[in-house]
A and B are shown apart, each in its own frame.
Chain A
Amino acid sequence: MFTPEGMTCVLIAATKSQMEPVIKEIYRQHLFHIEEFVEKDKEEYEGYRIGTPLPQANETSRELLRLRGITNAFMIQEDEEGPGEKQKHAQLSKQIERELPILEKEVEDLLSRRSRLDTQIKEYEQRIDGLKPFSGISVDLELLRGFQTFSVFSGYVSRTPSLDIPHEIVTSETKKERFIVLVVSNQHRAIAEQALQNTQFRAVPVPDETGPATSRIGYYEGQVLSVKGELEEINRRLDEIKNQHRGFFLACNELLTADVEMAEAPLRFATTGESFIVEGWVPTERLETFRQGIHYATGGKVYVYELDPAEVEEVAPVEYRNVSFAKPTEVLMDVYSRPRYTELDPTLLVSIIFPIFFGIILGDVGYGAILLVLSFGLRRFLKGEEGQRLLKILRNASISSIVFGVLFSEFFGFSLPWAPILFSRHLNIGAHTTGHGPDVTNLMMMAVWIGIIQITLGRVLGMINHARQDHGSHRIKAVMANLGWIMVLWGILAMLWAAFPMPLMPDFTVLQPLVMGLNLSSILGIVLILLGVIFIARDSALEIVELPTILSHVLSYARLVGVGFSSVAIAMVVNFIAIGMIIEPQLESLTAFGVIIIIMGALVFVMGHLGNTVLGLLGGGLQSLRLQYVEFFTKFYKGGGKKYIPFGMKKRFMED
């Protein structure tokens, strides 16, 4: 529960002739985490080289690439639901050889035709764009170009130019713009240019067409329509292929991906001229099955050797082993860092403590209920394992929020019909405030106690971790240092108890002084602190400068109360503004206008509480997560474990 899945390091050695059956078998079992071989210049690595891919690798990769081209064009996602029944492996391979090339050919033809037609449409549309300015001019376009003695100007102007030279001008006007075609003889060209410049002339080239512009536009529009019809036909055919063969494509993709992964596996092996070695990890529980599988697949021609766990367990990959309640919290652990193989796995602790902290911060039945509904409602929309796990964490957190809401007697900032069972968090906000106001001191003390307990727990776990991981004289020093931290913490507490009476804490000020005005509690405190500091300094003297963190980390738990208060305050302010200030005054003498104001007040109420729910989710989630990451984990947890990724895949669309 607090340790990851047990792993055994296994070496497989055989002649190269056994390489393919071995790869196939470990891929099928989906148990073996391959430790990649890296070439080094050391003596023990001499003679070993990284392997070369199996001979079929090239062709299979090419095949897969072409298939992916098609599935991309069809926008088929790999994680899509496939057909209900799985296909047989052997049958599928035959089908791939027989049908896939034909299908690929057809799809590629269709796709290239489609892109050709697309460019054609673009070209026609460009031509139409070029012709459009001339649509108001009924002159044959051929008559506007190719003159030797005349110059033709065509373009947009702000007003028709006045010219005192012989010329011919055709104008067409739309609402926004004025388009002209002006013809002058070449000798007057300079004068015409000058005149046009004064009218903000923007030249438009005469299109290379024959006949009046409108008829040409009509012709091209007809062309576009017919090409579009053709396109539709192609798309329909592509859709047909997609719907008919989607399952086949998915299965092919799976099979080819598997083949490529297998063919490229030797790149992770160490090989010599005639033999190969591969090192990796198998869960200890499944080791026997793994061995037998390899034995049967190769007829016993392979040497499987287990390495001594003590020598290699530092680098073992980590697979979580948690009860199902704690499984979703593994996401939060991975965000920080996966535990090392030799380390305690605190997932279960976090899965219990995180919702409790969340509940203390956002202890409100109303907000808890909204988040609970949200965590169930979003299940359908949030795809992927990680999202589902986060929703389960949210579900636990919101249930805890409801429980604490009952204890704090809070419902959207209003109080429930009973007095707070735990401590009151009701602030005196609004016109008719009743009650005694919040019980800040007791709440703060509660938070401090939570801090003291969690930090002590963290240090105890630190002792266990160091005892498990360290060796030699450092081990005992490190364990004692962690004990020292606990002693300093409780020593400070004992001295405080002796000096001040505090609520929710034992009161030792009543004890009789023994020596120099110090009573038993203060003496015990001083001894604990001194011993603790010595233990810490023996491990690392530099750690002494970290001593003030004892105080800051414990006080940091005050955020459980502080952030909670801010959420309560916002809720109560929203209630006061919406109900006390907007709705209630209108209810006293109801008018038609008053109804609108009341609706606005209701809107303020809903928006305010929605905003506060979001804030509460962020505040509650991040703050309680931070308490785990910063205050709790820094006491014992290092992380940095490798994820266990067994070689192989979960087959979804085919079976052996």
Chain B
Amino acid sequence: MADAATAVVATEMTVEMIKASQMGMRAIAAAIAVGSTGIATAIAEMVIGSAAVGATAENKDVFGLVLLLTVIPETIVIFGLVVSLLLLF
């Protein structure tokens, strides 16, 4: 407690400011969680998606199967979303 008080004095920050900056850090962490997993999903779906379109052009019957394959990496971004929601609330 004493350390915290000196820290506040040393950086001339009020408790409200510290709380706000902590909230800000959490928001940044949440943004990184969603953003990076989103990029990862996009890269994975890019490769699968282009192959899927090719396969569908050859044979229309595989549409259901390739739709399924294309959405599999979405789990990654959902995990990111779960993490960020837990961080924020």
Which A residues are within 8 Å of any B CB, using their own CB? Answer: 334-337, 437-438, 440-441, 444, 552, 555-556, 558-559, 561-562, 565, 622, 626, 629-630
- A-B pairs under 8 A by CB, number: 53
In the complex the two chains form, what is the Cα distance from A622 to B74 in whole Å?
11
Q: Which residues in chain B, 33-89, are within 8 Å of chain A measured between CB atoms?
A: 63-65, 67-68, 71-72, 74-75, 78-79, 81-82, 85-86, 88-89
B44 shortest CB reach to chain A, Å:
14
> Which of A437, A440, A444, A555 makes the CB contact (< 8 A) with B79?
A555
Q: Is the CB of B64 within 8 A of A629?
A: yes
Asked whether A337 and B81 contact (CB < 8 A) given A437-B89, A440-B89, A552-B75, the answer is: no
* Chain A residues whose C-beta falls within 8 Å of the C-beta of B79 in the assembled complex: 555, 558
Give 3 closest A-B pairs by Cβ, nearest first.
Answer: A336-B64, A562-B81, A440-B89
Asked whether A562 and B67 contact (CB < 8 A) given A441-B89, A630-B72, the answer is: no
**Apart from A440-B85, A559-B78, A622-B71, what 16 extra A-B contacts exist at CB < 8 Å?**
A335-B63, A335-B64, A438-B89, A440-B86, A440-B88, A444-B86, A552-B75, A556-B75, A558-B81, A561-B85, A562-B81, A562-B85, A629-B64, A629-B67, A629-B68, A630-B68
* Complex: chain A residue closest to B89, CB-CB: A440
* Complex: chain A residue closest to B76, CB-CB: A552
* Chain B residues whose C-beta falls within 8 Å of the C-beta of A562 in the assembled complex: 78, 81-82, 85
In the complex the two chains form, what is the Cα distance from A314 to B51 in whole Å?
32
In the complex the two chains form, what is the Cα distance from A555 to B82 in whole Å?
9
Q: Is the CB of B85 within 8 A of A565?
A: yes
B45 shortest CB reach to chain A, Å:
12
* Chain A residues whose C-beta falls within 8 Å of the C-beta of B78 in the assembled complex: 555-556, 558-559, 562
In the complex the two chains form, what is the Cα distance from A334 to B64 in whole Å?
8
* Chain A residues whose C-beta falls within 8 Å of the C-beta of B75 in the assembled complex: 552, 555-556
* Chain A residues whose C-beta falls within 8 Å of the C-beta of B82 in the assembled complex: 444, 555, 558, 562
8 contacts between A and B (CB under 8 A): A335-B67, A336-B68, A438-B89, A440-B86, A444-B82, A558-B79, A559-B78, A565-B85
B75 shortest CB reach to chain A, Å:
5
* Chain A residues whose C-beta falls within 8 Å of the C-beta of B74 in the assembled complex: 559, 626
In the complex the two chains form, what is the Cα distance from A561 to B85 in whole Å?
10
Q: Mark B12-41, 1 if CB is under 8 A from A, else 0.
A: 000000000000000000000000000000
* Complex: chain B residue closest to A557, CB-CB: B78
* Complex: chain B residue closest to A631, CB-CB: B75
Please indicate which of the listed interface residues B65, B68, B79, B88 has the most CB atoms of chain A within 10 Å of its own CB. B68
* Chain B residues whose C-beta falls within 8 Å of the C-beta of A440 in the assembled complex: 85-86, 88-89
* Complex: chain B residue closest to A558, CB-CB: B82
* Complex: chain B residue closest to A437, CB-CB: B89
In the complex the two chains form, what is the Cα distance from A361 to B65 in whole Å?
24
In the complex the two chains form, what is the Cα distance from A559 to B74 in whole Å?
9
Q: Is the CB of A626 within 8 A of B85?
A: no
B42 shortest CB reach to chain A, Å:
16
* Chain B residues whose C-beta falls within 8 Å of the C-beta of A444 in the assembled complex: 82, 85-86
* Complex: chain A residue closest to B80, CB-CB: A562
* Chain A residues whose C-beta falls within 8 Å of the C-beta of B88 in the assembled complex: 440
In the complex the two chains form, what is the Cα distance from A23 to B74 in whole Å?
52
* Chain A residues whose C-beta falls within 8 Å of the C-beta of B63 in the assembled complex: 335
In the complex the two chains form, what is the Cα distance from A337 to B64 in whole Å?
7
* Complex: chain B residue closest to A627, CB-CB: B71
In the complex the two chains form, what is the Cα distance from A195 to B72 in whole Å?
73
In the complex the two chains form, what is the Cα distance from A436 to B27 in whole Å?
18
In the complex the two chains form, what is the Cα distance from A334 to B63 in whole Å?
10
> Which of A337, A437, A552, A555 makes the CB contact (< 8 A) with B65?
A337
Q: Is the CB of B68 within 8 A of A626?
A: yes
In the complex the two chains form, what is the Cα distance from A559 to B79 in whole Å?
9
* Chain B residues whose C-beta falls within 8 Å of the C-beta of A559 in the assembled complex: 74, 78, 81
In the complex the two chains form, what is the Cα distance from A440 to B89 in whole Å?
7
In the complex the two chains form, what is the Cα distance from A336 to B61 in whole Å?
9
* Complex: chain B residue closest to A332, CB-CB: B64
* Complex: chain B residue closest to A553, CB-CB: B75
* Chain B residues whose C-beta falls within 8 Å of the C-beta of A334 in the assembled complex: 64
A507 shortest CB reach to chain B, Å:
19
In the complex the two chains form, what is the Cα distance from A440 to B64 in whole Å?
33
In the complex the two chains form, what is the Cα distance from A23 to B44 in whole Å?
53
* Chain B residues whose C-beta falls within 8 Å of the C-beta of A556 in the assembled complex: 75, 78
In the complex the two chains form, what is the Cα distance from A61 to B68 in whole Å?
42
B37 shortest CB reach to chain A, Å:
11
In the complex the two chains form, what is the Cα distance from A561 to B82 in whole Å?
9
* Complex: chain A residue closest to B61, CB-CB: A337
Please indicate which of the listed interface residues B82, B86, B88 has the most CB atoms of chain A within 10 Å of its own CB. B82
In the complex the two chains form, what is the Cα distance from A335 to B74 in whole Å?
20
